[in-house]
Amino acid sequence: MEQLQVIEDEVAVALARIPLAKPILVMKGMSTLAVAGILGEAGDLSGYAHGHALLRHAGLNLAEASSCKWKGQMSISKRGRPRLRHALFMATMALIMNINPCLYFRNNSQYLAPGLEYWSYPAL
């Protein structure tokens, strides 16, 4: 356990020197190891013109296998980096587990479906 703590401390020191890591670490649920995994596989995030470029680099863009005679199903291409896909998946799951949907939809009522405006949320 001491070796793991030493490694995590070294990763935290290395992330402190990266300016783009600080805004990501502020998000509730993002750990230093998740951010290090994403930045280690993706590289400098300022080099991506759009978020879709990062998803394409990870192989998470949509692809369709079809021909003139038949139309295939849409699926992810998986032509990118598998470790980046895994790091993004784990970070996404951590973020999803740390949000409170009641608070989110209470503060953003424009995202509610019609007819749910008067839905009563439990007191938090």
Give me the pLDDT at residue 82, please: 94
Residue 116 above 70 pLDDT? no
pLDDT at 69: 78
Query: Residues 119-123: what's their mean pLDDT?
Result: 47
For the chain, the structural domain boundaries read: 2-105
Q: Is 21 exposed, middle or buried (0-12, 13-18, 19+ CB in 10 A)?
A: buried
Q: Which pTM was predicted?
A: 0.71
Residue 86's contacts (CB-CB under 8 Å, 6 or more residues apart) are 37
Burial code (b: 16+ CB inside 10 Å, e: under 16) for 63-73 equals eeeeeeeeeee
Predicted pLDDT of residue 28: 82
Average pLDDT, the chain: 81
Angle CA(46)–CA(49)–CA(55) in degrees, nearest 5? 95
Q: What percent of the chain has pLDDT over 70?
A: 80
pLDDT-based confidence at residue 8 (cuts at 50, 70, 90): very high
pLDDT tens for 46-87 read: 889 888 899 999 999 888 877 777 787 888 888 999 999 999
Specify whether the CB–CB gap between 21 and 12 falls below 8 A: no
Per-residue CA distances from 50 to 54, 60, 77, 103, 122 (Å): 7, 14, 18, 29, 38
Alpha-carbon distance 34 to 42, whole Å? 12
